[in-house]
Amino acid sequence: MLESNYTMAEEARETLAMHPQKFAMWLFIVSIVMLFAAFTSAYIVRQAEGDWLFFELPSLFWSSSLILITSSGTMHWALVSARKDNLGTLKLAISLTTLLGLGFLVMQFLAWKDLVTNGIFFAGSQANPSGSFLYVITGVHGFHLISGLVFLLIALYSAFTYRIHAKNLTRIEMCATYWHFLDILWLYLFGFLLLNN
């Protein structure tokens, strides 16, 4: 509006800019990283104070990790299919990802049941903070995974209504970013728990 009144003006430089929604997604991921940084550092601080119960991690965590890694693979497959406009494989891949995500949650729940049968409780007089921390860390991760599943279901719905294709990738790209992040976050948490046990 204003510069139009001047007959001669040098060109103003373009500023750096990214896709705002994708950028905001990355910032959201940063806040989740900080949340788990808080939990894991609290874990270390508390462990250093002694009176800490050491126990075997449920072996189901290995299988659930495998499932989650596979789901990351299928998620990537979905993304690649969407880029190539293979809408049939996109639907298959994204459905598989959703199922694997659900499978992961079921495995985590079964792992909790294993913990309880082994006498590792979340709360109560027999609980040690080491067990409580395990429940909180896996539980809060599970909660975020549910949010990822909701995102996946939205993407699934858009895939089945043909709203995701090579020219409309934002939604599935953001979904993939979030899903891979949740996968990597779990691998970090599992590795952290393994190293500190």
Partner 1 sequence: MATEFNLTTHVEVDHQHDHDHEHHEEGFIRKYIFSEDHKMIAKQFLFTGLLWAFLGGAMSVIFRLQLGFPDLELGFLKPILGSWIDETNKLDPNYYLALVTMHGTIMVFFVLTAGLSGTFSNFLIPLQIGARDMASGFMNMLSFWFFFAASLVMFASLFLETGPAMGGWVVYPPLSALPEAVPGSGSGMTYWLISMALFIISTLLGGINYITTVINMRTKGMSFSRLPLTIWAFFLTAIIGLLSFPVLFAAALLLIFDRSFGTSFYLSDIYIGGEALHHQGGSAILYQHLFWFLGHPEVYIVLLPALGITSEIIATNSRKPIFGYRAMIGSMIGIAILSFIVWAHHMFVTGMNPFLGSIFMFLTLIIAVPSAVKAFNYITTLWRGNIIFTPAMLFSIGLVSVFISGGVTGIVLGNNALDIQLHDTYFVVAHFHIVMGSASFFGFMAGVYHWFPKMFGRMMDAKLGYIHFWLTFIGIYLVFFPMHYIGIAGFPRRYYSFTSFQAFNTFADLNMFISVAAILTFTAQAIFAFNFVWSIFRGRKAPLNPWNANTLEWTTPRLPGHGNWPGKIPHVYRWAYDYSKPNADKDGFTDFIPQHIPLSQTPHSNLEYENELMQKQNVTDDLKVNE
Chain residues binding partner 1 by CB under 8 A are 1-6, 8-21, 23-24, 27-28, 30-32, 34-35, 37-39, 42, 45-46, 49, 51-52, 122-125, 127-129, 132-133, 136, 140
Least distance CB 128 / partner 1 (angstroms): 6
Nearer to partner 1 (CB atom), residue 2 or residue 195? 2
Nearer to partner 1 (CB atom), residue 20 or residue 88? 20
Least distance CB 148 / partner 1 (angstroms): 17
The HSE-up count of residue 63 (CA atoms within 13 Å, CB side) is 11
Least distance CB 33 / partner 1 (angstroms): 8
Nearer to partner 1 (CB atom), residue 88 or residue 124? 124
Nearer to partner 1 (CB atom), residue 42 or residue 99? 42
Residue 72 phi, psi dihedral angles, 5° rounding: -60, -40
Nearer to partner 1 (CB atom), residue 37 or residue 116? 37
Q: Which amino acid belongs to residue 142?
A: G
The dihedral over CA atoms of 110, 113, 119, 122, expressed in degrees to the nearest 10, equals 100
Distance CA 185, CA 23 (A): 19
Q: What angle do CA 184, 186, 191 make, to 5 degrees?
A: 95
Least distance CB 78 / partner 1 (angstroms): 25
Task: Give CA separation, 157 vs 88, 141, 142, 172, in Å.
Answer: 14, 24, 22, 11
Least distance CB 73 / partner 1 (angstroms): 29
Instruction: Pull the structure tokens for residue 34.
Output: 């900080």
